Homo-oligomer: A and B are copies of this chain.
Amino acid sequence: MNQKIGFIGLGNLGTPIALNLIDSGHTLYVYNRTASKAAPFAAKGAIVCDSIADLAKQCKIVFTIVSDDAALKDICEGEKGLLNHLGKGSIHVSMSTILPQTAAELAMLHRQHEQHYLASPVFGRPEAAAEKKLNFTISGEEEIRKQTAPLLKDAGGLNVWDFGDNTTAANTVKLCGNFLIASALEAIGESINLAGKSGVDAKQMWNMLSQTLFNAPVYVNYSNIILQKKFEPAAFSMKLGLKDMNLVLQQAASASQPMPLASLIQNNMEQMVNNGKGNIDWSAVSTGRTNE
């Protein structure tokens, strides 16, 4: 069913998701802090809004996908934010990777405004979005999960994984997932470094591993990227990876759970960012230590 959908955040991943919604027949009301990114959507039939308030007034459902907790809070709070301008009963579908605690806080604020907040962080790189092969994880009110799941399929979701009533659950799962991916990147990188330095053709080694023990998308895709050193343009930048590892460790601290591997990766990513590598792909995480 064609719906009027607000969409805020036309970045690397937001762009293909927004295009999927348009392709699925929905009318999109788009807003982006950097207005030049919104303009091209007009040609696709989207309505470009001048402000969040303007967008919020016209839509009963708004998707957001921005880079961090602060950006999302900016969109929601303050004079011109979603909270003040969305109508009663409206739904905020929040796809950003943020702290579970931030999700809980925003859900409470929306509730106070008689609005709904659905946590719906997403797994998948931009090319997976274009192919409609994303995996959404959702948590929040049951009725809202039911209503929104079909729209997330329209947005490019191959699957929508339901984590129940507790708003924080989906964001915890997303942080665990990104930590697991980052761990795989570090491990793939170290294995390639060791093989290469030991006189083994790392490409041949990964040809075997990615058909056998590690025949999963994360390993298949990233071993290719790391072997080819295709770190630019970044599909997901080192800076964003570092941000996520910081979130993972914040969550770990609040749960009193040591995560030495997450700490190691955070440290490596921090060094990369400090060495001017913040804008290359996060899969370069373990290339800093090779002399090649």
A256's nearest neighbour on chain B, judged by CB, is B197
Q: Is residue A191 within 8 Å, beta carbon to beta carbon, of the partner chain?
A: yes
Asked if A259 and B184 make an inter-chain contact with CB atoms under 8 angstroms apart, the answer reads no
Indicate whether A199 reaches chain B with its CB closer than 8 angstroms. yes
A78 in contact (CB, < 8 A): no
Asked if A186 contacts B183 (CB within 8 A), the reply is yes
B180 touches A213 (CB 8 A): yes
* Segment of A84-92, A108-116, A166-174, A228-236 engaged in the interface with chain B: A166-174
Instruction: Please give, as numbers and ranges, the residues of chain B lying within 8 Å of A217 by CB-CB distance.
Output: 212-213, 215
**Which one of A30-38, A51-59, A200-208 is at the interface?**
A200-208
- Once the chains bind, are A176 and B194 in contact (CB under 8 Å)? yes
Closest chain B residue to A221, Cβ basis: B213
CB atoms of B214 and A168 under 8 A apart: no
Let me know if A180 and B187 touch, CB within 8 A. Answer: yes
Query: Given A200-B172, A200-B173, are A193 and B137 neighbors across the interface (CB < 8 Å)?
Result: no
8 A Cβ contacts from A225-268 to B: 248, 251-252, 255-262, 264, 268
Asked whether, in the complex, the Cβ of B198 is within 8 Å of the Cβ of A168, the reply is: yes
Complex Cα gap A168–B205 (Å): 13
Q: How large is the interface on A (under 10, 10 to 19, 20 to 34, 35 or more residues)?
A: 35 or more
Number of copies: 2
Query: Nearest-CB distance from A129 to chain B (Å)?
Result: 14
Q: Is the CB of B169 within 8 A of A180?
A: no
Q: Does A188 contact B (CB under 8 A)?
A: yes
Report if A71 contacts B (CB, 8 A): no
- Whether B258 contacts A209 by the Cβ 8 Å rule is no
From A123, which residue of chain B is reached at the shortest CB distance? B213
Q: A168-B199, A198-B168, A268-B260 are contacts. A177–B135 as well, Cβ < 8 Å?
A: no
Residue of B whose beta carbon sits closest to that of A198 = B172
A–B Cβ pairs within 8 angstroms, 16 of them: A135-B208, A163-B205, A169-B200, A172-B200, A177-B209, A179-B190, A180-B191, A180-B214, A186-B261, A187-B187, A190-B259, A194-B252, A194-B257, A194-B259, A216-B216, A260-B268
Interface contacts beyond A100-B198, A264-B264: sample of 6 additional A-B pairs, CB < 8 Å, sorted by A: A135-B208, A180-B187, A190-B260, A193-B257, A215-B216, A216-B219
| Chain A interface residues toward B at CB < 8 A | 100, 123, 135, 137, 159, 161, 163, 166, 168-169, 172-173, 175-177, 179-181, 183-184, 186-188, 190-191, 193-195, 197-201, 204-205, 208-209, 212-219, 248, 251-252, 255-262, 264, 268, 286, 289-291
